[in-house]
């Protein structure tokens, strides 16, 4: 769902390179804000219910702002042929959209600080189940969505920082960091018992309040990195088979 609109500038070496447009910078800022908010929202009890609710409202607004910026993606849904890659990305985006609607709706009726007048209208058990499923599956799908577009994000960042020449050293350093994060993500996925929440084997989220917030956030960032990596390399495979 990322679109590219760039302008050409003259580099110091005299080569013409594409610069990042203002709209792209806004899109990147919105995406980065969602990436920051996502692990914070998943550690909701550790940041406090009030802050969780406000962060949720901001996340909901930024998510739909992201869709507004990418409205052409919806316009082109009926155009062109559907490859395996396009089918996978369309299904991922469609499911993510439904989950991101279910999340704020269920959250609003459970709110104890921001929208208290809605509390108690819908049975709490139903809301808790919907919110738990939507939050954990939404976290995974948003990470996958990010991974499917990671090549575009890297390309955009190169243009933002005017990185032109390839560097094998930089590539291997980034790969090493990615491997470490993915390995930590596997550990965190098991330690946080994500499987139990994804398949509703537990309706209550266990949080270790003795653990510092920074470590709790690191675990969730690790899980996010794991699924970003899975989607990134899956996308490379699908592009080769295209």
16 has pLDDT over 70: no
Predicted local distance difference test score (pLDDT) of residue 14: 44
Predicted local distance difference test score (pLDDT) of residue 13: 43
Question: What does the domain layout of the chain look like in residue ranges?
Answer: 19-241
Predicted local distance difference test score (pLDDT) of residue 18: 54
- Name the strand (E) or helix (H) holding 196: helix 194-198
Predicted local distance difference test score (pLDDT) of residue 86: 93
Return the SS3 of 77.
coil
How is residue 33 written in tokens? 């804000």
The DSSP code for 15 is -
Mean pLDDT of the chain: 84
Query: What is the mean predicted confidence (pLDDT) over 15-26?
Result: 64
**Higher pLDDT pick, 186 / 25:** 186
Q: How confident is the model at residue 226 (pLDDT cuts 50, 70, 90)?
A: very high
Going from the C-alpha of 126 to that of each of 89, 134, 221, the distances in angstroms are: 30, 12, 28
68 has pLDDT over 70: yes
Predicted local distance difference test score (pLDDT) of residue 242: 60
Q: How confident is the model at residue 25 (pLDDT cuts 50, 70, 90)?
A: confident
Rounded Cα–Cα distance for residues 65 and 35 (Å): 14
Rounded Cα–Cα distance for residues 178 and 188 (Å): 15
Top-ranked range on mean pLDDT: pick from 74-78, 108-112, 135-139? 135-139
150-186 tens-digit pLDDT:
988 888 888 777 777 778 888 899 899 999 999 999 9
**Higher pLDDT pick, 79 / 19:** 79
Rounded Cα–Cα distance for residues 179 and 220 (Å): 16
**Higher pLDDT pick, 155 / 88:** 88
Rounded Cα–Cα distance for residues 93 and 91 (Å): 5
Rounded Cα–Cα distance for residues 148 and 89 (Å): 8
- Name the strand (E) or helix (H) holding 16: strand 16-20
Question: Nearest Cα to 178, choosing from 228, 234, 239?
Answer: 228
Q: Which residues pair with 7 in a beta bridge?
A: 19
The whole-angstrom distance between residue 105's C-alpha and the CA centroid of its chain comes to: 19
Q: How confident is the model at residue 19 (pLDDT cuts 50, 70, 90)?
A: low
Q: Considering the chain, what percentage of its residues have pLDDT values greater than 90?
A: 33
Predicted local distance difference test score (pLDDT) of residue 6: 44
Phi then psi dihedrals of residue 230, to 5 deg: -60, -50
Rounded Cα–Cα distance for residues 46 and 216 (Å): 8
Query: What angle do the packed helices 22-42 and 124-148 form, to 10 degrees?
Result: 140
Predicted local distance difference test score (pLDDT) of residue 15: 46
- Beta-carbon count within 10 A of 44 CB: 19
């Amino acid at each position: 769902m990322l679109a590219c609109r760039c302008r050409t500038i003259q580099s110091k070496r005299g080569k013409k390179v594409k610069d990042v447009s203002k709209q792209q910078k806004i899109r990147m800022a919105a995406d980065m804000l969602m990436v920051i908010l996502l692990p914070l929202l998943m550690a909701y009890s550790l940041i406090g219910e009030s802050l969780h609710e406000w962060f949720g409202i901001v996340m909901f607004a930024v998510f739909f702002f992201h869709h507004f910026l990418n409205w052409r993606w919806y316009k082109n849904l009926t155009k062109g042929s559907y490859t395996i890659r396009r089918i996978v990305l369309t299904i991922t985006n469609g499911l993510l959209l439904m989950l991101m609607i279910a999340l704020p709706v269920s959250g609003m009726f459970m709110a104890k600080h921001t929208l208290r007048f809605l509390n108690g209208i819908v049975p709490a058990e139903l809301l808790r189940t919907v919110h738990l499923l939507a939050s954990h599956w939404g976290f995974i799908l948003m990470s996958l969505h990010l991974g499917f577009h990671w090549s575009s994000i890297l390309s955009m960042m190169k243009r933002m920082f005017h990185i032109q020449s390839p560097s094998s050293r930089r590539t291997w350093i980034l790969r090493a960091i990615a491997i470490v994060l993915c390995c930590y993500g596997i550990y965190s996925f098991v330690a946080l018992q994500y499987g139990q929440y994804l398949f509703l084997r537990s309706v209550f989220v266990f949080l270790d309040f003795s653990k510092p917030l920074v470590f709790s956030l690191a675990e969730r960032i690790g899980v996010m990195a794991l699924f970003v990596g899975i989607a990134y390399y899956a996308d490379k495979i699908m592009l080769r088979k295209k």
